[in-house]
Amino acid sequence: MKKSAALKLLIASGMILSFSGMANAAEDTDSDSVKSKIVICQGCHGIVDYRTAYPVVYHVPKLGGQHAEYLVKALKDYRSGERNHPTMVGIAETLSDEDINALAAYYAGN
């Protein structure tokens, strides 16, 4: 096989693998999205007895084992501004209803 033909075959194979990887990534988007949000939550809520100093010294609650309905309400209240903690408001504003429901289900089960 000539070098140029082998190179074309290699490029075509690489493109096919890339597109198949993109399709798999699209299928996993929901779970990957929720996983990335869980990681954000764990940054504070996953540390036993963690306290934050912004905006005041605040004991960060444990999320695991909370009732899903409570977590949904709390996140929606932060998102709407009804609850006021700058960090949580900023995070909750980025969450869709689907994200909130998935996070609540995850933490209710842990």
| Mutual angle of helices 29-45 and 97-108, in 10-degree steps | 60
Q: What is the reported pLDDT for 3?
A: 56
Instruction: Render pLDDT for 59-73 as a digit per residue (tens, 0 to 9).
Output: 899 999 999 999 999
The C-alpha atoms of residue 75 and residue 82 are separated, in whole angstroms, by 10
What CATH class has 29-108? mainly alpha
Neighbouring residues of 8: CB distance < 8 A, sequence distance ≥ 6 = none
One-letter amino acid of 70: Y
**pTM, 2 dp:** 0.67
Angle at 64 between CA 35 and CA 37, to 5 degrees: 20
Instruction: Render pLDDT for 19-40 as a digit per residue (tens, 0 to 9).
Output: 333 333 333 335 788 899 999 9
Among the residue ranges 20-24, 39-43, 52-56, 106-110, the one predicted with the least confidence is 20-24
The C-alpha atoms of residue 41 and residue 87 are separated, in whole angstroms, by 11
Q: Which two tokens stand for residue 103?
A: 């996070």
Q: What is the mean pLDDT of residues 84-103?
A: 95
